[in-house]
Amino acid sequence: MTQQTTQNGSTTARPWRPIGEVLVDAGVITRNELDEALAEQRTSGRRLGEILIETGRISWLALAQAIGDQAMPGIARVAAPERPFSETPEDRLEEVESLLRERQRAFIELVSTTELLRRQVAQLEERLSERNAELARLKQSARERD
């Protein structure tokens, strides 16, 4: 169940909606496309969003917006982009390759950011360890004075 705020400020329970229904209601995919993806999901066990993205029916942005709509219904959303891929195989291949390059760049950026964060965490843990040791020394010297 999700909450919906009414005009007078009260909240009412709204039933949770499957992501496929959110996508259909938003006009991002058709009911037929959803049914096909659900059939694929039943046979493969993969996530619906993953299937829809890999088949070119939706973009990552459309999925993210649908998840946002699912979590917080009624919040204004950016208009869904047009179909992410062209109809001709050559153009579609070029677009898919471009998306893969973009995903690769994003992955490399994520890896480098993760590594930077690991180093920063290690530095913070080292400082914390030093401060804990200093605090233990101060406590010990305070006990010795008492």
47-90 per-position pLDDT tens digit: 998 899 989 899 888 888 888 888 777 665 545 445 556 678 88
What confidence score (pLDDT) does residue 35 get? Answer: 96
Q: What is the pTM for the complete model shown?
A: 0.45
With a cut of 80, say whether residue 134 has pLDDT above it: yes
* 1 confidence band (pLDDT: 50, 70, 90): very low
* 3-state DSSP assignment of residue 34: helix
Q: Where are the domains of the chain?
A: 1-82, 85-146
Report the pLDDT averaged over residues 21-43: 93
With a cut of 70, say whether residue 29 has pLDDT above it: yes
* 43 confidence band (pLDDT: 50, 70, 90): very high
